[in-house]
């Protein structure tokens, strides 16, 4: 049967249906291809993930091993049978084991030889409890490891190792060494207690002179006797000086703790520096009737470059302690010598020796250290002494030297220090070496102290003087009667039997063959013996301990040419008439003191109570002030801001004026730290004066600024 022919429409419909079928098959084929590709992709991803997991595991294992190799703590991982799975390297070193030898060994057996039995028992007992209860715990334990004799403080953590799938699989033991932390805590507690103790002692040190100041002030007010008032004023002055020393020591300790203590280098005459230190302490030795001598080696350079004020502080400290701990009638001696001289650097040694109570070995060990190292009894007894010595040690070390003590209980003490310095200014005044006026003179020295006679005889030899010595006034009169005439006689004031005044009277008797010149020597102040000495014919006075420069000055005064009466230098008094200054301070008492001290100079002084008032006075003044004394801490406007505004005002009014035309502004303040001084200069001030005021320093600033300002 013939195939039926399709119409055009039927033919097109059939083609359309076939196309749909083809497209459907194409989509099915495409989906099959995509599925295959995805399967391949998933397989690749899975392979990459597995590789990544393996690499990550290797990295984790690597860093875990680094932790074990480098940890300073002992870390032990154990299974349920207390056998070691692995541990940190520090334990392997303690036991002397090789890496890997620890695996599978019982922990108690492995720890033998690394720590003591008590430690092992504690570890195994706690480990059993942790494994049984599956709960962590921490146990403090003192451990002494075999490689060290030091007892280490540890906190041992026992941590169970378990998972939700497998349960408890073992435990981890970690030794946390907290020795340093415990030491730091103990040190902090000791430091806190020491600071409290220190504040109590400093409170006592401050209140003692304050009590004297307040008490003597009350006594002076009630007394009608001038002598009594003078006595009270002297005691007030002494107590005030002591109070200032205490405050300065406290400030120095603060500077040491903050590393702000610095040296100020300048050229100074070594002997004059020693003299200043000796003069500060001399009257205290005299009050206790102590024999005090000074011996300076000739090899020490005449001038040195260093911090003379700090050296005086150290020497004064040593001398003060020697006087304090030496009984009445004891002996003190200061010796100075040159140790080395290399490449222009000199090492000088100074020692202070006393015949006092001595220092025990226990106290010697902590003598130059902070007070917290001493027990409370020692702190109370030696607080001020140890504070000063701790400061001295820091100063000496800053000077490139060291400080030491040599002592036995009951046999006195020698405290010495060394310091390094370079040669000072050769143009400084030197000891007079021209002995034309007194060469070959014949001298007699009378003193009951053998050390004074030995010193005098040595100095006389160096100065080309013939010298005889006598231990008493009676022996001196006998020598005068037998020997050729003496040119000069040095007589001690206090001697047993015939004292110095009586001896001088006998020498000066009509017809006596005594020397024409008689000098008195004593540790006492001249005003105490002046009247009696002059009546006895004594013209000159030398204060002990004796210094070569003083002896030379005395010989020149005695035998050198006498200046004409009208050629003698006259004491010049400061006269600042015609000058006007501004005093800025909010405290009335401070203004009152400055006004009273400067009243004799004829200086005109205006006052302002704060920086704001000072600025107003400067702006309204008919002509600029010649100088300004400026306090720093004041209400409304402080000294720093006032100075800045004054400098700005000067610039605006006078325009482009140089620094030489500016009004000199001097800080006059209790703010005396280095930072305070530097800030003064930064804000435009010219100089700084610290409170309490030294009138000589105030006058020195006035002489410098007013004369310079006037000439300008």
SS (H, E, C) 481-499: HHCCCCCEEEEECCCCCCC
Q: Does domain 580-711 have CATH number 3.40.50.2300?
A: yes
Q: How many CB atoms lie within 10 A of CB 639?
A: 29
| pLDDT over threshold 90, residue 576 | yes
Calpha distance 292→546 (Å, rounded): 9
The residue among 446 and 436 whose pLDDT is bigger is 446
The residue among 62 and 224 whose pLDDT is bigger is 224
Write the DSSP symbol of residue 371: G
Task: Answer for the pair 305, 422: CB distance below 8 angstroms, yes or no.
Answer: yes
Over residues 259-318, the pLDDT tens digits come to 888 888 989 999 999 998 888 888 788 888 888 889 998 899 999 999 998 999 999 999
Over residues 582-636, the pLDDT tens digits come to 999 998 988 998 999 899 999 999 999 999 999 999 999 999 999 999 999 999 9
Mean pLDDT is lowest, of 165-169, 179-183, 230-234, 528-532, for 165-169
Q: How many CB atoms lie within 10 A of CB 238?
A: 16
- Choose which CATH entry (3.40.50.2030, 3.40.50.2300, 3.40.50.720, 1.10.1200.10) describes domain 442-561: 3.40.50.2300
Calpha distance 664→668 (Å, rounded): 13
The pLDDT of residue 55 is 64
466 confidence band (pLDDT: 50, 70, 90): confident
The residue among 273 and 65 whose pLDDT is bigger is 273
548 confidence band (pLDDT: 50, 70, 90): confident
- Cα–Cα nearest to 600, from 706, 699, 708, 709: 699
Over residues 349-402, the pLDDT tens digits come to 999 999 998 888 878 877 887 544 444 444 444 555 677 888 899 999 999 999
The pLDDT of residue 434 is 56
CATH class for the domain made up of 266-423: alpha beta
| pLDDT over threshold 60, residue 3 | no
| pLDDT over threshold 60, residue 534 | yes
The pLDDT of residue 647 is 93
| pLDDT over threshold 50, residue 569 | no
Give the mean model confidence (pLDDT) for residues 7-29. 72
Burial 26-45 (b: 16+ CB within 10 A, else e): eeeeeeeeeeeeeeeeeeee
- Under CATH, which number does the domain 71-177 receive? 3.30.450.20
35 confidence band (pLDDT: 50, 70, 90): low
The pLDDT of residue 563 is 55
| pLDDT over threshold 50, residue 437 | yes
Over residues 494-515, the pLDDT tens digits come to 898 899 999 999 888 876 777 8
Q: How many CB atoms lie within 10 A of CB 139?
A: 13
The residue among 690 and 428 whose pLDDT is bigger is 690
The token duo for 154 is: 């540890």
The pLDDT of residue 43 is 64
Q: Considering the chain, what percentage of its residues have pLDDT values greater than 90? A: 28
Calpha distance 642→73 (Å, rounded): 61
- Cα–Cα nearest to 314, from 256, 244, 399, 202: 399
| pLDDT over threshold 70, residue 33 | no
The pLDDT of residue 152 is 81
Q: Considering the chain, what percentage of its residues have pLDDT values greater than 70? A: 84
Q: What is the mean pLDDT of the chain?
A: 82
Domain ranges (residues) in the chain: 1-65, 71-177, 182-257, 266-423, 442-561, 580-711
| pLDDT over threshold 70, residue 2 | no
- Under CATH, which number does the domain 182-257 receive? 1.10.287.130
The pLDDT of residue 417 is 97
Report the relative pairing of strands 74-79 and 84-87 from DSSP bridges: antiparallel
Calpha distance 329→373 (Å, rounded): 33
The residue among 112 and 562 whose pLDDT is bigger is 112
The pLDDT of residue 354 is 94
The token duo for 53 is: 């997991």
Shared fold status for 442-561 and 580-711: yes
257 confidence band (pLDDT: 50, 70, 90): confident
User: Hey, which of 31-35, 118-122, 264-268, 670-674 has the most confident mean pLDDT?
Assistant: 264-268
Mean pLDDT is lowest, of 42-56, 254-268, 451-465, for 42-56
How many CA atoms, within 13 angstroms, populate the side-chain half-sphere of residue 256?
20
Integer CA distances (angstroms), 477 to 144, 474, 503, 514, in order: 80, 5, 8, 8
Over residues 149-196, the pLDDT tens digits come to 677 888 889 989 887 777 778 888 888 888 888 888 888 887 777 677
| pLDDT over threshold 60, residue 566 | no
346 confidence band (pLDDT: 50, 70, 90): very high
- CA torsion sign, 247 to 248 to 250 to 254? positive
Q: What is the pTM of this model?
A: 0.63
The pLDDT of residue 145 is 75
- Cα–Cα nearest to 660, from 645, 649, 648, 650: 650
Report the relative pairing of strands 580-584 and 627-630 from DSSP bridges: parallel
Calpha distance 250→83 (Å, rounded): 61
The pLDDT of residue 376 is 42
Task: Answer for the pair 441, 466: CB distance below 8 angstroms, yes or no.
Answer: yes
The pLDDT of residue 571 is 47
């Amino acid at each position: 049967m013939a195939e039926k022919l399709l119409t055009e429409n039927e033919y097109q419909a059939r083609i359309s249906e076939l196309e749909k079928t083809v497209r459907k098959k194409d989509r099915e084929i495409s989906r099959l291809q995509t599925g295959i590709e995805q399967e391949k992709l998933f397989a690749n991803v899975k392979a990459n993930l597995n590789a990544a997991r393996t690499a990550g595991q290797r990295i984790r294992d690597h860093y875990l091993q680094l932790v074990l190799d480098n940890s300073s703590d002992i870390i032990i991982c154990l299974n349920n049978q207390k056998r070691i799975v692995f541990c940190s390297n520090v334990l392997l070193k303690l036991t002397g084991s090789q890496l890997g030898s620890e695996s599978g060994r019982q922990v108690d057996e492995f720890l033998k030889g690394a720590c003591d039995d008590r430690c092992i028992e504690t570890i195994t007992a706690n480990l059993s409890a942790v494994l049984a209860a599956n709960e962590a715990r921490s146990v403090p334990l003192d451990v002494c490891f075999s490689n060290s004799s030091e007892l280490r403080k540890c906190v041992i953590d026992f941590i169970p190792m378990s998972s939700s799938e497998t349960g408890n699989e073992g435990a981890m033991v970690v030794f946390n060494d907290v020795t340093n932390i415990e030491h730091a805590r103990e040190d902090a507690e000791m430091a806190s207690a020491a600071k409290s103790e220190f504040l109590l002692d400093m409170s006592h040190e401050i209140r003692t002179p304050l009590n004297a100041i307040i008490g003597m002030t009350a006594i002076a007010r009630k007394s009608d006797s001038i002598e009594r008032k003078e006595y009270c004023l002297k005691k007030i002055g002494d107590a005030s000086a002591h109070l200032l020393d205490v405050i300065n020591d406290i400030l120095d300790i603060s500077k040491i703790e903050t590393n702000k203590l610095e040296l100020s280098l300048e050229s100074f005459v070594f002997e004059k520096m020693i003299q200043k230190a000796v003069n500060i302490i001399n009257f205290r030795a005299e009050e206790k009737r102590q024999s005090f001598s000074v011996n300076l080696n000739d090899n020490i350079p005449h001038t040195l470059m260093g911090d003379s004020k700090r050296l005086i502080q150290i020497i004064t400290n040593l001398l003060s302690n020697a006087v304090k701990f030496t009984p009445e009638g004891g002996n003190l001696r200061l010796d100075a010598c040159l140790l080395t001289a290399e490449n222009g650097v000199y090492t000088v040694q100074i020692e202070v020796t006393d015949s006092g109570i001595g220092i025990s070995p226990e106290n010697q060990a902590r003598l130059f250290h902070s007070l917290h190292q001493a027990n409370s009894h020692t702190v109370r007894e030696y607080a001020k002494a140890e504070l000063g010595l701790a400061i001295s040690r820091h100063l000496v070390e800053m000077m490139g030297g060291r400080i030491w003590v040599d002592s036995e209980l009951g046999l006195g003490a020698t405290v010495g220090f060394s310091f390094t310095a370079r040669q000072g200014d050769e143009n400084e005044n030197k000891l007079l070496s021209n002995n034309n006026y007194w060469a070959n003179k014949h001298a007699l020295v009378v003193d009951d102290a053998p050390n004074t006679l030995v010193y005098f005889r040595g100095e006389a030899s160096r100065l080309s003087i013939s010298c005889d010595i006598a231990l008493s006034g009676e022996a001196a009169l006998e020598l005068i009667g037998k020997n050729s005439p003496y040119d000069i006689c040095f007589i001690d004031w206090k001697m047993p039997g015939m004292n110095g005044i009586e001896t001088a009277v006998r020498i000066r008797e009509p017809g006596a063959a005594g020397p024409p010149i008689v000098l008195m020597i004593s540790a006492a102040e001249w005003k105490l013996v002046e009247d009696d000495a002059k009546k006895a014919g004594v013209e000159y006075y030398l204060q002990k301990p004796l210094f070569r420069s003083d002896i030379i000055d005395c010989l020149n005064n005695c035998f050198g040419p006498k200046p004409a009466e009208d050629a003698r230098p006259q004491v010049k008094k400061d006269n600042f008439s015609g000058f006007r200054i501004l005093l800025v301070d909010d405290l009335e008492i401070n203004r009152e003191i400055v006004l009273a001290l400067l009243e004799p100079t004829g200086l005109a002084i205006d006052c302002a109570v704060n920086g704001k008032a000072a600025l107003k006075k400067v702006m309204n003044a008919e002509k600029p002030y010649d100088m300004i004394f400026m306090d720093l801490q004041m209400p409304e406007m402080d000294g720093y801001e006032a100075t800045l505004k004054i400098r700005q005002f000067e610039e605006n009014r006078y325009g482009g004026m140089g620094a030489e035309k500016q009004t000199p502004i001097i800080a006059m303040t209790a703010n005396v730290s280095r930072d305070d001084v530097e800030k003064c200069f930064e804000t435009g001030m010219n100089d700084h004066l610290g409170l309490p005021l030294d009138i000589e320093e105030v006058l020195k600033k006035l002489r410098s600024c007013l004369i310079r300002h006037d000439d300008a």
